[in-house]
Amino acid sequence: MPIEILMPALSPTMEDGTLAKWLVKEGDTVSSGDVIAEIETDKATMEFEAVDEGVIGKILVAEGTADVKVNTPIAMLLEDGESADHLGAAPETAPQTAPPKPAEAAAASTPTAAPPAPAKSGDRIFASPLARRIASEKGLDLSQITGSGPRGRIVKADVEGATAQPAAAPAPAAAPAASAPAAKPVDASAIAKMYEGRAYTELPLDGMRKTIAARLTEAKQTIPHFYLRRSVTLDPLMAFRAQLNAQLEKRGVKLSVNDFIIKACALALQQVPAANAVWAGDRILQLEPSDVAVAVAIEGGLFTPVLKDAHQKSLSALSAEMKDLATRARDRKLAPHEYQGGSFAISNLGMFGIENFDAVINPPHGAILAVGAGLKKPVVGEDGTVKVATVMSMTLSVDHRVIDGALGAELLQAIVDNLENPMAMLA
């Protein structure tokens, strides 16, 4: 029977997307792994690969169609000997559904933990011919294999790495989780009516803005934030940075204060390993590497690309990687693995003159550091004399489910110590 090619979820937060371009046409033969379309997600434009082999029998969604919901059929794939005659005419656009309610959007931003079960109809297991052939050669029981194709269909990739195993006893069905009461949706027409007679421009929400709204609503409703504030004296760091930049000038490297902040946070997560953790629903995951996310503002939203193993990288390496990630973030060219993960984030608004602010935690992270501007201020020295120093305000937003007050204070103290003793970060 024909195989439905579904609109894929190309990122954990994707609810719908734009089918930007078809790279195949009806009648084309495709194999598993062939790129068949370009899809614009809430974050980037990405290539979509076929998971099965066959012939494109019918294209159901025209290229350029926006707001195509995840799991909506976008094309039909025919197997050997099948005909497209009975498939009917292709619609002009993909079927559209009403926008998700806020509670639904928040739930959709978190990927489900359980993989799809093999698709069955009575005693039949849905699998591609190639997958069946490989399974037969390897002596595999298809009923014991989880399919990753559309609607749980078993495809080539599912059987290539599998080995023959005895059938496992079925796991007991989990009791359905109690759902939280849905938040009352905003009545757009009622809001618009309040402003009748006033001039305004209506700006429809794109995928990125919808995702940001859902994620931040989820964060503020479900994460018990608390805030820790410290000031750091930057004069030793500024002098050390000037010295390093003079030496690195011939290599075309110029370190920013933000590069030092990233390094200081990465090392602090190693010095206070219990704080290098994320909330995973029914458990806490304590990470070993320091994977630090950094907020990057782009037109219409923001990205938080992740610098993996930041504690092991030199300042110049962090600087080069951060510049590359920021450039590609603004061009919306980041792959999902480059902005997912991490346990800790940094949001720096100091370059905009903001003195201090409270950042919202990006789940599942355990904390985020809000960095303000470095300002010249009078400071009382240890000898009681008053001098002028460059002082920067920092606020650590902490998820109390993951990090308690004393542990958060220890983490922020380690960050301050690293920034006020920058030479030690190179040891």
* Contact assessment for residue 5 and residue 150, using Cβ atoms and an 8 Å cutoff: yes
> What is the C-alpha end-to-end distance of the chain, expressed in Å?
64
Question: 120-160: what fold?
Answer: Dihydrolipoamide Transferase (4.10.320)
Compute CA distances 103 → 61, 143, 231, whole Å. Answer: 28, 35, 38
**What phi and psi values does residue 53 have, to the nearest 5 degrees?**
-110, 150
Give residue limits of the domains in the chain: 3-108, 120-160, 224-426
**What pLDDT does residue 214 have?**
86
Identify the pLDDT of residue 94. Answer: 41
- The answer, yes or no, to whether residue 321 has pLDDT greater than 60, is yes
Pick the range with the lowest mean pLDDT from 10-14, 92-96, 293-297.
92-96
Which of these CATH numbers, 2.60.40.10, 3.40.50.1010, 2.40.50.100, 3.30.70.20, describes 3-108?
A: 2.40.50.100
Q: Which of 48-52, 274-278, 348-352, 362-366 has the lowest mean pLDDT?
A: 48-52
Q: 53 Cβ partners below 8 Å, 6+ apart?
A: 29, 30, 31, 32, 128, 129, 130, 156
Q: Which residues of 245-278 are buried (b: 16+ CB within 10 A; e: fewer)?
A: eeeeeeeebebbbbbbbbbbbbbbbebbeebbbb
What is the Cβ-side half-sphere exposure of residue 252, based on CA atoms within 13 angstroms?
Answer: 1
Comparing 413 with 29, the larger pLDDT belongs to 413
Specify the DSSP element, H or E, that contains 59: strand 54-59
Task: Count how many residues are written for the chain.
Answer: 427
Domain 224-426 has CATH 3.30.559.10: yes
> Over the stretch 224-256, which tens digit does the pLDDT of each residue have?
999 999 999 999 999 999 999 999 999 999 999
pLDDT band at 181 (very low <50, low <70, confident <90, very high): low
Tens of pLDDT along 64-98? 888 888 889 999 888 766 766 666 544 444 444 44
Q: Residue 344 pLDDT more than 80? A: yes
Sign of the Cα pseudo-torsion (298, 321, 345, 332, in order): positive
State residue 107's pLDDT score. Answer: 39
326 close to 273: Cβ distance less than 8 angstroms: no
Is the distance from CB of 41 to CB of 62 less than 8 angstroms? no
**Residue 420 DSSP one-character state:** H
Residue 161 carries which DSSP code?
T
**337 counts as catalytic:** no
Answer yes or no: is pLDDT of 379 > 60: yes
pLDDT tens digit string along 352-374?
999 999 999 999 999 999 999 99
Alpha-carbon dihedral 365, 266, 356, 366, rounded to 10 degrees: 20
Residue 284's pLDDT is what?
96
Q: pTM of the prediction?
A: 0.64
